[in-house]
Amino acid sequence: METNKNIKKTLPVLNMYCAACANSVQKILKRQDGVSDAAVNFATETAQIEYDPNKTDTAKLKEALQSVGYDLNIDEGEHAREEVDAAHEEHYRSLKMKVIGSVVLAVPLVIFAMTPALMHLSYANYVMWVLATPVVLYFGKDFFIRAFKQARHGAFNMDTLVSLSAGTAYLYSVFNTLYPQFWHSRGLHADVYFEAAAVVVAFVLLGKLLEERAKGNTSSALKKLIGLQPKTVTIISESGETSELSVSQVKVSDIILVKPGEKIAVDGIVTDGTSFVDESMITGEPLAVEKKTGDKVFSGTINQRGSFSFRAEKVGSSTLLAQIVKMVQDAQGSKAPVQKLVDKIAGIFVPVVIGIAILSFAVWLIVGTDNAFTHALLAFVTVLVIACPCALGLATPTAIMVGIGKGAENGILIKDAESLETIQRVDTVILDKTGTITEGKPQVVSVKWMNGVSSDLHDILYTIEKSSEHPLAEAIVNYLKGTSKVLSDIHIESLTGQGIEGTFNGIKYLVGNQQLMRSKGIVCSDDMEHWIFERLEDANTVVLFADEVSVMGSIAIADSIKQSSIAAVDQLRDLNIDVYMLTGDNEHTARSIAAQANIQHYKAGLLPADKTEFIKQLQSEGKTVAMVGDGINDSAALAQANVGIAMGQGSDIAIDTAKMTIISNDLTKIPTAIKLSKQTNRTIRQNLFWAFIYNVIAIPVAAGVLYPIDGFLLDPMIAGAAMALSSVSVVSNSIILKYKKL
């Protein structure tokens, strides 16, 4: 199967109730013809599926999951998420009613079972039977239904444990209520465990309710992002009339009116009016930004003062906000490397627990005393009840969800869980210069033309630079704007990493650095060389303009350093991280910028391939490298690095290639991302430790290992409470991560 034919989709999965469920869904999806890969995340309740559309489709995958009791939401559109949210809300309400109903019946049942005066009543067992039946068979029926569906396909999950334990205790109690003489004739008590069966169901339902609520809190950052986009917009027609439309109906080139206090619905360019816009959700900066005709505005930002109109440029899934939301969703649904091991453990957890329960039952029957069967049954039920695969399954993904959400709230977009796990190990950070360390808004500060240069040459230079996406070219275009015009018959060719070439009337013209001119054998006068040297000493970047013979003009361009860059370098060095600056610029400029930014290591005059090779060299020395860049020329280096970090205002290619994006262009977000990674991974380790320790200690105790020592045998009701709390405690520990300072 060719990978480029495949489609990748992240779709919500419904009716998953434990980590083993997620494992089952993943196995089912992977078994389907045409599916090359599938990763199911229990915490986010999503499946990332890669499949061949010629062999299968989402409808077939949905059908495959429905046959086992799960479901796949395959709708794509404005209402798809709303439908999923509505389903979750309905499930939460239903779960809440089941919890209330089961607790209302379980409490008097426990009181009845624990009060000797009531227990000795002749009709006591029948009363408890009446109270327990709705709890087990009505409120807890879903456990049995789902377990049955799973068993038909040879799969086991949390439902299997609950249905086996509660079902066994309930049926045993019903038998003893109807046929007590069976045991009496053998000199044994006909004990009933209605309260255990009911309380187990009630506690598991309560645990699920608390878990659902806690899981909702882990995705609060995503919900905030989604809530930033307004539902409706005001459209201005060609005749000047206004009308209200749904955001989904907005088309490119529509003119939209934004009033004070309103959220901007889509990305666009201001066409009329001025205002101040709160862009803190993008930049992290609290100060509002002035917007006037020609300025860009972004979806989710808030207009503060004046009214203005703008032309829609990007709508629907193309907006910056939509891309941020999708990136966060995909990242939260991805799996950290450590999760793969946990998934394997979760996949065999339930069968192993069932085996331990059966073994405990058998051992108690063999070595037990007069109450051997009673103890055997109690051990069997308690082992099934106390075992908690959910705690294991939730340990990693809940922490990842919170970590990635926290990153998004701080202007750090993380594409996948692996990057969040990896960046904490980074010991070398490589920075591009222009647009990364510097403002990325270079301006022409000085120009020198050779004598006799005509205005036609100005037009040629202007036309050539208009076709370039390089920030230096933009500076030259802005400088020549108004005095030069675009020529239509120039053939343009990019010379990657060196400059650009244009052919006009059969003559080739070059725009680029000194290296380009030397490689082409272009002559530069002594006077021009001296001027260039002086500009370089001032830390200016010099762009040369030449024909096929000689340099005809030189343009000096300066780009100021961001104050945040200096602070970021200092913070990285405090973390014992080596910082390098790699640039295609000349030695003079590179040395000056490195000194101003307190960067000890730098390399100048590098082509894109050189940057990539340098990263490979560092990696061969055992270094874990993060590359930070913003341009197309950085994309290969970003891909090669262990963690590629793109600046938010950089090229789309750089952002697509990178594993992280700094929305605000503030380099201090990099040490923040490293601290976030360390916090998140610390939380994961804590969660896994407690989940493992809980099961390692709880299961043997439930099996009765302490009974020979001090006569302690764990009650199934206590076991049910412990199981519920173990999941909730893991999720709660992840939520605490939200409130830790970075």
By annotation, the residues acting in catalysis are 432
Structure token digits, residue 337: 């490397």
Q: Residues near 98 by Cβ (< 8 Å), separated by ≥ 6?
A: 139, 140, 205
Cβ(443)–Cβ(523) below 8 Å: no
Cβ(660)–Cβ(414) below 8 Å: yes
| b/e code 666-698 from CB counts within 10 Å (16+ = b) | bbbbbbbbbbbbebbbebbebbbebbeebbeeb
Please tell me the distance from the alpha carbon of residue 111 to that of residue 195, in angstroms, as a whole number. 9
Please tell me the distance from the alpha carbon of residue 388 to that of residue 352, in angstroms, as a whole number. 12
43 CB burial (10 A radius; 0-12, 13-18, 19+): buried
H-helix or E-strand spanning residue 516: helix 514-519
Phi, psi of 628 (to 5 degrees): -120, 120
Contacts 24+ apart (CB under 8 A), 606-613: 606/497, 606/582, 607/496, 607/497, 607/498, 608/496, 608/497, 608/584, 608/633, 608/634, 608/635, 608/636, 608/637, 609/497, 609/636, 610/582, 611/430, 611/582, 611/636, 611/637, 612/636, 612/637, 612/640
Cβ(677)–Cβ(666) below 8 Å: no
CA–CA distances in Å: residue 132 to residues 113, 193, 314, 386: 11, 10, 59, 20
Would you call 10 helix, strand, or coil by DSSP?
strand
Cβ(56)–Cβ(33) below 8 Å: yes
H-helix or E-strand spanning residue 678: helix 669-703
Please tell me the distance from the alpha carbon of residue 309 to that of residue 252, in angstroms, as a whole number. 14
H-helix or E-strand spanning residue 311: strand 308-314
CB atoms within 10 A of CB 453: 13
Q: Residues near 557 by Cβ (< 8 Å), separated by ≥ 6?
A: 442, 443, 444, 445, 472, 475, 476, 540, 541, 542, 543
What is the identity of the amino acid at 342? V
What is the identity of the amino acid at 21? C
Cβ(334)–Cβ(416) below 8 Å: yes
Please tell me the distance from the alpha carbon of residue 621 to that of residue 611, in angstroms, as a whole number. 16
Cβ(310)–Cβ(268) below 8 Å: yes
Alpha helices by DSSP H, 219-263: 220-226
What is the identity of the amino acid at 572? L
Torsion, Cα 353 358 362 368, to 10 degrees, reads 60
3-state secondary structure 382-427: HHHHHCCHHHHHHHHHHHHHHHHHHHHHCCEEECCHHHHHHHHHCC
What is the identity of the amino acid at 587? E
Per the DSSP assignment, residues forming a β-bridge with 493 are 501
Please tell me the distance from the alpha carbon of residue 37 to that of residue 740, in angstroms, as a whole number. 35
H-helix or E-strand spanning residue 290: strand 289-291
Dump the DSSP string for 590-656: HHHHHHHTT--EEE-S--HHHHHHHHHHHHHTT--EEEEE-SGGGHHHHHHSSEEEEETTS-HHHHH
Cβ(231)–Cβ(247) below 8 Å: yes
